[in-house]
Structure 1
Amino acid sequence: MPRSTENNAQPVVLPRSEHSISRKQIDPDTLKVLYRLSRKGFKAYLVGGGVRDLLLGRSPKDFDVGTDATPNQVKKLFRNCFLVGRRFRLAHVRFGADQVVEVATFRRQARPEDLPDDPAEHFMFAENIFGSPREDAFRRDFTINALFYDIESFAIVDYVGGLEDLNQRRLRAIGDPLVRFTEDPVRMLRALEFSARLDFSLDESVREAIYVRAPLIAEAAPARIREELMELFRHRVAGRVLRDAQAMGLLPHLLAGFEGETETFDLLEKVDARTAAGVAIEEPFALAAIYLTRFLRVCPPGADLTVTEAVRLAGLTLAPHCGYFHVAHGIRHQARELLIGFFRLARGRGFRGERRFLQHPMTPQALDLLCLWQQISGGDPALVEQWRPALAEATSPQPQEKQAAARRRPRRRRGGRSRRRPGGGESAS
């Protein structure tokens, strides 16, 4: 199959008879948006990861729409439409309380004559210059994310060679990866994420560019990196991606000097397996898993340390990450409690305050963390089994129910006689 280039305006078009995507696989609300745009004379494409996943036989996380209609034109077509974003103007078409179909107008790379005189406004204007489907495809990050499904012809439209790369199970950047990673360093992390999620090989040019541009990831917005890290955990690839990031020199810049160890990556892969088994991942648990090995270096369970000292050391372990990424106090507190809970569980039973500790709301998750650690460290599984019945007994609702029932029972005077209300019942003699 010929690979389309930026100088070749003719895309590869795969007709309906030659691909597997059916409209039955597309969300009904997304279809409504596509059909209405098409009936009103606008181009209407399913774009991005949804097309990629459908071609791979996967279930897309969401569906996005691309069109040549401007955001204001989209808003006029849908009463339930809201325009969002100042830097990157998008239309959100709402269906019900929590269903949103995102509609983006095709855009192109800005040319010098497109930009305002004030350099401070360049970035905002550069993101809102509308273009053709072909120009929009070449603005995207990777070829497999730049495929379009045309609702009018039911064909796949490929301007960048994405179909060939899907067949080869290869991740390739659109254009020069050195330039694309300089434009947006987060693309390096996304390259590793897509490679792990889809089990695709990295194109050699992408791999080499990550080695060269790795330091630039430190310049990305902390809030964006923090969200991308959590996406790795939600997609159950955190262990593999961070291991690859370490091998390519990306990890120390990604996590502020963090040098991962084999045990850390092994533990994160166990966390990913826990998520895959249906246990929802939350940020405190992810943070505790990332920094557990570092915490154990300063606070090993066998050390003669008090819980107060463990609290201080857990806080110091998490402080650089939580400060840089502006992690909320509540999340930081829960992550610290997980590390402290791990320390208390790992040193064994019989210490002071055990009953109250077992009733702490973070203790069950701390036991989960200990169980995962025992699996990768070769620890004694009997330690976990010693804690399970004690935890079950301490968290049983029966004692609380008995106390509540006792509080509800009316008190009686000695001798079993109830106190008579004044002025009620029999008359005084």
Structure 2
Amino acid sequence: MIKKYIDKLFGRDRAPRKDGRPTIYGPDKHPIRREAISKCARRTCEELQRAGHAAFVVGGAVRDHLLGHVPKDYDVATSATPEEVRSIFRRSRIIGRRFQIVHVLCGQDVVETSTFRAQLTREADPDNTDEHGRVLSDNVFGTQAEDAARRDFTVNALFYDPVKEEVWDYHHGVKDLAAKKLVMIGDPALRYREDPVRMLRAARLAAKLGLTIDAKTEAPIHTHRHLIENVPQARLFEEILKLLLSGNAVACTQLLRKLELHHGLLPLLDDALENKATGPFALAALKATDDRLRDDKPVSPAFLLAALLWGRVENGLRKHEDSGQPSIPALHSAMHEALDEQRVSLAIPRRFDATMKELWLLQPRFLQRGGQRPYRLLEHPRFRAAYDFFELRARSGNAPLDIAQWWERFQDANADEREEMMVEDEAEPKKKRRRRRGKRKTEGAAPGAQQQAPQGDEE
């Protein structure tokens, strides 16, 4: 009965119309109202249409509104060229080298505005694809219908006109959303060869939106997944980061493993999840990131990447310690090896290195609870992040839970309570310990003396 209703409402024929025209849904056929669209996106479309150009909110924002979600940002597609868009909006700037787009600014809001693009195929331009079929450039202006066909999935090829409150659908995206299906536009095998990143995007969107990948869309993934090796590492890392910071990282990684797309991308997905010692910590890090994103809390990509690589760092540390190397030099060696090994398959930008290394180097210091060392650690700028890292390890069975609980109490304790909590360090001479205690006692008894605990809550 539901299927019949959907077919009646959205049409039965899945093939695009031969005349290249879209199915247009009026305001009585969909739930999107112009008031729900960001003011900047509405203004951009209105001004472009007033100047005689076609202009629509496009892609993910339309898809999310139809699903009842709040979009993170808005994109506009238009028939106007970048120069024409720039001439209409005083507060705008043209960006990009290969394909120019315009950022239209309204206060703090930015709307990315692009000209309709045509898709270049191997048949149209044989020199525009590599030996694997990957399209090297598709930076040619086209019509709205061509722009829709160039997009990857039907649910991303939807256009919304905020002036008339109409949804324009060239490839049955509305029907596929209603059926909770993710369907590739065109021949999936060909589209994956043109851009292998679409396989990763399929996993991310399906997990994020709760969609099922259509059987015809999924089938070529199992035979074309090796093509991901041909994608430039910078672009591949960008897509992986989107996946990990999607708010559904756990579901995304599970789907990647089901599709066998995880091999060679991240040590987490290759071996950490299967390692009894580090797998629970890796999953806990992903879940903690998902939870923070759902609560609109800030997340650190460097923190998550450090957590995902911790398994390799820890294994390298044990190897070097077993060979007789002191702990700190062994940790340094393990860190450099883990990062170098990772860059062979997926290069992590070096801007993350400093934070990741600090988090790793601070982990052994949580085991030191005597002398001045706990106080110095509290004063470290990365203490809070490093403690969260250690506490997450402890809850996952990768670090002593009692020590994590000790640090939780130590942060909130007053000076006297902290002194009582000190764990004697056998490496510290007894004479030095007595001298340190006597000095603190004298300072505490001085008239007007005020003891102040070091502040370690800096994020």
Q: Which residue of 2 aligns with 1:100?
A: 110
Q: Which residue of 2 aligns with 1:216?
A: 227
Q: Which residue of 2 aligns with 1:421?
A: none
Q: Which residue of 1 aligns with 2:331?
A: 310
Q: Which residue of 2 aligns with 1:339?
A: 360
Q: 1:63-97: CA deviations, max 9, x gaps?
A: 1111122222222322333222232121222233x
What's the C-alpha RMSD, in Å, of the aligned pairs?
Answer: 3.2
Q: 1:296-337: CA deviations, max 9, x gaps?
A: 333369x78523322321232223335765545452122122
Distance 1:219 1:126 in 2: 15
Cα gap change, 1:333 to 1:152, in 2 (>3 Å): closer
CA contact (8 A) 1:242 1:265 kept: no
1:286 and 2:304 equivalent? yes
Distance 1:322 1:113 in 2: 36
Q: Which residue of 2 aligns with 1:268?
A: 286
Q: Which residue of 2 aligns with 1:365?
A: 385
Shift of 1:62: 0.9
Q: Which residue of 2 aligns with 1:5?
A: 15
Shift of 1:355: 3.7
Shift of 1:147: 0.7
CA contact (8 A) 1:34 1:151 kept: yes
Distance 1:218 1:116 in 2: 22
Shift of 1:149: 0.8
Distance 2:220 2:364 in 1: 41
Cα gap change, 1:336 to 1:192, in 2 (>3 Å): same
User: Counterparts in 2 of 1:108-187, with a 5 A limit?
Assistant: 108-110=118-120, 127-187=138-198
CA contact (8 A) 2:182 2:213 kept: yes
Aligned partner (choices 299, 302, 311) of residue 317 of structure 2? 299
SS at match of 1:252: coil
Distance 2:313 2:193 in 1: 34
- The one-letter code matched in structure 2 to 1:319 is D
1:259 and 2:271 equivalent? yes
| Bigger mean CA offset, 167-176 vs 324-333 | 324-333
Shift of 1:47: 0.5
SS at match of 2:94: strand
Distance 1:235 1:393 in 2: 37
Unaligned runs of 5+ in 1: 396-429
Q: Which residue of 2 aligns with 1:55?
A: 66
CA contact (8 A) 1:252 1:259 kept: no
CA contact (8 A) 1:46 1:63 kept: yes
1:44 and 2:55 equivalent? yes
- The one-letter code matched in structure 2 to 1:5 is A
Q: 1:380-415: CA deviations, max 9, x gaps?
A: 6433110123345699xxxxxxxxxxxxxxxxxxxx
Task: Give the TM-score normalised by structure 1.
Answer: 0.81
Cα gap change, 1:269 to 1:206, in 2 (>3 Å): farther
SS at match of 2:140: coil
CA contact (8 A) 2:57 2:161 kept: yes
CA contact (8 A) 2:105 2:111 kept: yes
Distance 1:79 1:4 in 2: 43
Distance 2:338 2:21 in 1: 55
- Number of matched residues? 391
Question: Identity percentage over the alignment?
Answer: 31
Shift of 1:44: 1.5
Distance 1:118 1:306 in 2: 53
CA contact (8 A) 2:188 2:216 kept: yes
SS at match of 1:367: helix
SS at match of 1:2: coil
Q: Which residue of 1 aligns with 2:429?
A: none
| Bigger mean CA offset, 347-356 vs 75-84 | 347-356
Distance 1:24 1:296 in 2: 52
Cα gap change, 1:356 to 1:268, in 2 (>3 Å): same
Cα gap change, 1:362 to 1:111, in 2 (>3 Å): closer
Distance 1:204 1:139 in 2: 21
CA contact (8 A) 1:348 1:383 kept: no
Distance 1:168 1:348 in 2: 57
Distance 1:216 1:230 in 2: 19
1:374 and 2:394 equivalent? yes
SS at match of 1:93: strand
Q: 1:276-297: CA deviations, max 9, x gaps?
A: 3444221220111111222233
Distance 1:214 1:266 in 2: 27
Distance 1:140 1:368 in 2: 41
CA contact (8 A) 2:129 2:135 kept: no
- The one-letter code matched in structure 2 to 1:178 is A
Cα gap change, 1:125 to 1:214, in 2 (>3 Å): closer
Distance 1:170 1:81 in 2: 37
User: Counterparts in 2 of 1:61-100, with a 5 A limit?
Assistant: 61-96=72-107, 98-100=108-110
SS at match of 2:396: helix
SS at match of 1:82: strand
Distance 1:51 1:37 in 2: 19
Cα gap change, 1:156 to 1:73, in 2 (>3 Å): same
Shift of 1:165: 1.0
CA contact (8 A) 1:288 1:338 kept: yes
| Bigger mean CA offset, 33-42 vs 205-214 | 205-214
